[in-house]
Chain A
Amino acid sequence: MVGDKVTLEIHREETLEEEDSVSKFLLIFFIFTISLVANEAQDIIKKLDENMRGENVSMKMTMRVVSLSHERTMKMQSWSEGTKKSFTKILYPPKDRGITFLSLENQMWQYVPKIERIIKIPPSMMLQNWMGSDITNDDIVKQSSIVEDYEPKIIKKKNTLVTIELIPKEDAAVVWGKIIINIDTTTYTSNRDVFYDEDGEEVRQFIYEKVKKFGKYYIPTYWRVQSSSKKDNFTEIILEDVEYDTEISQHYFKKSALKRFSR
């Protein structure tokens, strides 16, 4: 009898040990899966961001702003290096020609030839519309980075299309409450970004088309920005002369460039 009891006890302990090992394995498997999924989302976002920025990129842009039942066209050229440096110059219309923007280490300045002043744009103005269009100052300087400032999460997968939700990190100084991006993983380019404010209300959409390959990078060359509250207003951007990883003079990324390259 006593022998039977001891055998039973040993058997129970063995069973408990087995159950413990299974739960540990499941936990590790779960964490591993989660981290894999998280890494996958992070990788996709990184590749998307690399496509948009390269080591450095320069391009010409034609912007058509449709609002108040009429349209305006603007042309500009931009140079950027990584996430911290960018320079933009307005080329057209003549009224605004020579207006320049510089973004350095999360700070933004604007030079306006008409008043011959360099104006520092405060962070509180980052969400303001840029030059009357549907894009913001933040879009121009790309001050916030989708890689560094947001936590990505895959919410849908269908063939090569992946939908990723970006939620701002707790300490990130960003302007959006949430961004949902639809990415084509064959080119790692987005076809639609939906931006939400802090209350979860949809604010605008970026629709991307006409993906082209420049060197090793893919980028959509047609962007349409649609405001969610004003359905009649939209902004179209066409990218031209896109050049990646070329030699960009560091002179563009100095405050003196604002006046110097304005002419």
Chain B
Amino acid sequence: MFSFALKNILFYKGRSITTFILTFISAILFIVYVSMMDGSHDSMLKNSLKIYSGAIEIYHKDYRDIGGNEYLIRDVESIEKKLSLVDGVELFSSRYETYGLLSFGDNSMASMVVGIEPKKEEQLTQLKVALVDGEYLKYGSQNCLYIGSGVAKRLKVKIGDEISFIGGASDNSFVADIFMVYGVFKTGLSEFDDSATFVSRDYFDKLMLSKNIASYITVKVKDLDRVDEINSEIIKLLNDENLESLTWKTLMKSMVETMEVDSIFGYISLSLFLVVIFFVIMIYGFINVSSRIKEFGVLRCVGLSKKHIFLLLFYEIFILSTFALILATPIAGYICYYYSINPIVIEGMAEMYKDYGIVSDEIPFSFDIFTISWNISLIYGLNILSIIYPYFYINSFKSIEASRHV
């Protein structure tokens, strides 16, 4: 039956070439499109995680929902000791976040002032890379303030200017201090650049009475794909119902939802394309089968069963699909692989993007064997489905009737 199917393929060249080309093109487009979509989502996520958010963050319960000094983590050192025991954790750092009033001359604004460990943040985030003026913080940089470009613009300050700060310490008492503008950063996230400022924790802790106290601890993991597994391990190790350890999926819920919606729309538009391809292949198959009614009639008369007819049609589409996919997969795979290590840069956008900060102008592709495999399987499945209708059509004729069909 297999060699019979092969002969048919060679005999009905028009139908074979059309099916081959359509399968080939749709496979390449499908694999490349999914790779580009997954790659750009990964890139969005990595960019966001690089800027400030951690892959995992540990909070006191209710800090995120209610907030306030009642919900600060008050034994940072013991948590950090436990974190250092978790295998998948690459690095972690505690942050003390507070909202206060910054003032320079007649300009005042509410701002998020964060006490950070400068050296660790350098490896955890892109804060240092985002520097556009002055210098990045270092340990012992005293009352130096590293401010967002939006804050600098609103307060009309430049490097060396002294900004007054008033706010509440970790015990709710009143605090006031003078900070010196040491560096200005621009990440490209406008909301962040317009409100965030940073001080070295060693100085800030004395001012805010926040030694061994943190708003939260941010954690970088060795492998982002294992984030859920590592998080479970952290929760188990912390063993404290007052603490919650959250992954980026919860922390950046809105971004995850945006990516999911984007993926759904991507798959919907792609499925429309695949449906068109499916129908074209099916129609060609149907036309081909229609012109072969007499042939199938004769075959049935000489003893071939319905099962054999199905097998014949199946082998025909299987051989054509296999040839097309054998050729398409390496080509599509190579394209995905090439652009995963050499991301597409949108010409002319680079300069504009730089002006917005460090948000990448690259669109990397994702090269994932599993994704490519299910893409191929789907094309296979659709091609095989395309023989169902022609099969039923040909079986609607009686053998004798079909053998006399003109």
Contacts and interface: CB of A to CB of B under 8 A. Distances in A.
Interface of A: 65, 67-68, 70, 72, 95-96, 99, 110, 112, 114-115, 117, 119-122, 124-125, 128-129, 131-132, 229-230, 232-233
Nearest to A74: B174
B172 interface: yes
A164 B58 CA distance: 45
A122 B70 contact: no
B66 A112 contact: no
B396 interface: no
Contact of A112 (B69, B109, B168, B176): B176
A230 B68 CA distance: 10
B178 interface: yes
Given A68-B70, A110-B166, A132-B168, A115 B177 contact: yes
A121 B173 contact: no
A230 B172 contact: no
B70 A96 contact: no
A99 B174 contact: yes
A124 B70 contact: no
> Could you say which of B70, B169, B177 has the most chain A C-beta atoms within 10 Å of its C-beta?
B70
A117 B70 contact: no
Interface in B119-177: 164, 166, 168-169, 171-174, 176-177
Chief secondary structure at chain B's binding surface:
strand
A122 B106 CA distance: 10
A112 B106 contact: no
Contact of B166 (A112, A129, A229): A112
Nearest to B170: A68
A12 to B, nearest CB: 67
Contact of A120 (B68, B108, B172): B108
A120 B110 contact: no
Contacts of B70: 67-68, 230, 232-233
Contacts of A67: 69-70, 172
A65 B68 CA distance: 15
A229 B168 contact: no
A256 B75 CA distance: 45
A70 B171 contact: yes
B110 to A, nearest CB: 6
Interface in B257-275: none
Nearest to B173: A132
Given A65-B172, A132-B173, A229-B66, 16 more contacts: A67-B70, A110-B166, A112-B164, A114-B176, A115-B176, A117-B103, A117-B164, A119-B108, A121-B101, A122-B101, A124-B109, A125-B110, A132-B171, A132-B172, A230-B66, A233-B70
28 contacts: A65-B172, A67-B69, A67-B70, A68-B171, A72-B172, A95-B174, A110-B166, A112-B164, A112-B166, A112-B176, A115-B164, A115-B176, A115-B178, A117-B103, A117-B176, A117-B178, A119-B103, A122-B109, A124-B109, A125-B101, A125-B110, A129-B172, A132-B169, A132-B171, A132-B172, A230-B66, A230-B68, A233-B70
> Could you say which of B66, B70, B103, B109 has the most chain A C-beta atoms within 10 Å of its C-beta?
B103
